[in-house]
Amino acid sequence: MQSFGRTFAAILFLLLLPSAPATAAPDPAPTAEPYLGRVTLAPAGPEKDTLLRVRASNVVAGQLERLEMTVDLDAATAFADVALTGILVTGGEPPAVLDSDEEEPCRRTGGKVFCSWNATFTSAGMLDVPVVLSVTPKKTAKEGDSAAVTVTAKLGDGPVGTSTSEFRVGQGVDLVAGEDRQLKAAPGRAVMFAPTVHNQGSAVVTGVALVVDADPRLLGKTSYRNCRYGTGLICTFDTALAANTSYAPAKSLTLSSPADTVPGSLTQITYAWITRTEFDESPLDGYGTPGTGAPLTLQALAAAQDDQPQADVRPDNSHSFLTFTVTGKRRPAIAAAGLRRTAAVGDRLTLSPGFTNFGPGTLRPSLFPNNRLVVTMRLPSNVTRNSAPELCFPDEAPEVLLCLLRDDVGAGQRTTFPIGMEVTAQCGDPGQIEIPVRLADADGNVPPARSIATLTVDVAGAPCVALPITGPPVGWTALTGLLLLVAGTVLTVLGVRRPFCEHAGGASGPDRDRKDAS
C-alpha cells in the first residue's frame, strides 16, 4: 500500500536567459504551502489520524531554515480534541530527510497549535513535510457539529501559505468485517474467498469501500471498473447497506501461489471495510490504476438512502485477517554452506557463508513472510567483525549474527551473506552457520531441524590445537521473535494503526468484540 506521505520528485529550475551581461536574479525565497483535508468524526467514536501536508518549495540542500506553522482550530475545540503526534518527510531520490533540533516542536495555546522547527533539508527543490494530526471527538460531540480549521505555514523569510478545511461530526455507523479465516491451496492452485461486511448499526450505510492488502502476485486477475489496482486492491460501492444486514461481493476473489512455491509457505491477507465518506477523505482516493471491465457489485446475504456524512464508531472491528497457506509435501532440501580461509593476523577479509536450495521449489521472502529464513552465524573466535549485510543483526552475544533472507532463492541456487572481519589471533574456536530446513508455522514456531556448517579462519604456521565449537547457545526464541517482527503485514489505513513517532504510542491490535452477523 502507498504510505500516507506521497513522494514528490519534481525539481525546480530557474532559467536565466539574459540578452546582455547582467547581474543574476536572486534565488527565489523558500515557500511553504499547507494542505489539510476534511475530517469526519463519529459521535462517541475513536480518534482519527489525518495528514497536514506542507509543501516546501525552493529549499536549498544543507541550508538551515525556520519552518513555522499555526493550526487555528477555532470552533472545532467545542467538539474535538486535536494533537500533533508526528512528522514525516518525503522528497525525491534519494529520499529527503528533515533534520530537526527540537524534540517537541509544537505547543497548544487556547484554540491554536503553534509549531516551529529549525530544519535542515538534505535535498533541494520541492519537498513534502507531512505532519500527523490526531483528532478525537469529545463526549459532547453530536451529529451535525462542524467548524472551519485554518492552517498557515511559513518557511524562512518566504511568504505565508494558507489552507482552510473542515472538521465535522457525521452520522455514526458500525461496519463489521467477516470472521478471520484459514485458506489453503496447493502450489499454483486457486482458492476463492468473499470478503463480507455486516451493517451492525441502526442506520443505512450509504456506500462503502473495500481495501484488500494483498500482494498482486497472489490475487487472481480481474479488471472491475469500480476497483483500483496497485500493491493491493481497493473497490468502492454505492450500494446502500441496510441495518442488520450482511453483504459480500457478487463475485468471489481468488488467491493462488506460483506453481513452484515451497509447501508450508504462508502469508496473511488483510481486508477492511470503510464508509464512502472515510474513503473520500483518506489518502486512498486516487490510489492505483482503475479497472476497465464491468463493475463489481455487492449483494445482500441476509435480510432510505441519504447524503449524510458517515463515520465508523468502531473501526477496530472493520477488518479481518485471512491466513493463506500453501499445502503439499515436496519440501526443498536446504544445506548450509560453510567455508575455510587462510590468512595472517591483522588481515582484513570477507567471509561469505550462506546456503544452497537444492529444490524443489523457490523461497520467496517478499511474498511469504515465513520464507524469510533466519540464518544464524557464529564467527570464529580469532576474528572481529567490522561489517555485515543490511538485514543482519547482532544477537546477545556480539560474535553471533542473525541474518534474514531477503532475495528469492530458486531450486539449485545459492545465497550468501558477506561478513567483513579482521583476524585478531592465531588460534581460536571455529564458528558455524545454522539454517532451519523447515518453514515457521502460523504462530512463528520454527521446527528444530536445521543444517549446520563450519566457519574457520586458519593462520598459516600457527601451533593451534583443534577445538570443538563453543559459545553461547543460539536463542531460538529470539529468532522466532525476529521473524515475526519483520514478517508482519498490517493494514495501515484503518483498523490497525502504526505510530509515526516514538511518542505516538503502540499500535492497536485486532482484539475485536464481534457480534453474530446473521
Residue 340 sits in the same domain as residue 442: yes
pLDDT of residue 416: 96
The pLDDT of residue 305 is 41
Q: What pLDDT is attached to residue 505?
A: 30
Residue range of the domain that includes 37: 31-169
Last residue of a domain, one of 121, 136, 169: 169
Number of domains in the chain: 3
**Pair (368, 293) in one structural domain:** no
- Residue 177 and residue 164 share a domain: no
In a domain, 415, yes or no: yes
Query: Is 219 among the domain residues?
Result: yes
What totals of helices (H) and strands (E) does the chain contain, helices first?
Answer: 2, 38
Report which of 133, 151, 132 is spatially closest to residue 32, judged by C-alpha positions. Answer: 151
Query: Which backbone phi and psi does 283 adopt, to 5 degrees?
Result: -70, -5
3 φ/ψ sector (left φ>0, alpha ψ -120 to 50, else beta): beta
- Here the CATH number for the domain that contains residue 369 is 2.60.40.10
pLDDT tens for each residue of the chain, 518 residues long: 333 222 222 211 111 223 333 344 456 788 889 999 899 999 999 999 888 888 888 888 777 888 888 999 989 999 999 887 665 544 444 334 445 555 667 788 888 888 887 777 766 666 666 778 889 999 999 999 999 999 999 988 899 999 999 999 999 999 999 999 999 999 999 999 999 999 999 999 999 999 999 999 999 999 999 999 999 999 999 999 999 999 999 999 999 999 999 999 999 999 999 999 999 998 776 789 999 999 999 999 855 344 567 777 777 888 899 999 999 988 899 999 999 999 999 999 999 999 999 999 999 999 999 999 999 999 999 999 999 999 999 998 888 999 999 999 999 999 999 999 999 999 999 999 999 999 988 888 888 889 999 999 999 888 886 545 444 444 433 344 344 333 333 333 333 433 323 322 322 333 344 444 33
Looking at the structure, do residues 188 and 264 belong to the same domain, yes or no?
yes
Can you name the residues that pair with 240 across neighbouring β-strands? 206
| 479 falls within a domain | no
For residues 464 and 379, membership in a common domain is answered with yes
Q: Is 491 part of any domain?
A: no
- pLDDT value at position 483? 40
Residue 267 sits in the same domain as residue 291: yes
Alpha-carbon separation of residue 160 from 113, 151, 286, 389 (angstroms): 16, 10, 28, 46
Q: Specify the amino acid at residue 383.
A: V
Picking from 392, 410, 408, the residue whose alpha carbon sits closest to that of residue 400 is: 392
Residues 294 and 374 both lie in one domain: no
Q: What pLDDT score does 91 carry?
A: 42
Give exposure, 292-305, as e/b (b: 16+ Cβ within 10 Å). Answer: eeeebebeebeeee
Boundary-marking domain end, from 169, 190, 213: 169
Of 158, 5, 134, the C-alpha closest to 68 is 158
Asked if 184 and 323 sit in the same domain, the reply is: yes
Please indicate, yes or no, whether residues 161 and 181 belong to a single structural domain of this protein: no
pTM (2 decimals)? Answer: 0.76
Q: Which among 169, 198, 220 is the end of a domain?
A: 169
Looking at the structure, tell me whether residues 148 and 180 fall in a common domain. no
Q: Is residue 8 part of a domain?
A: no
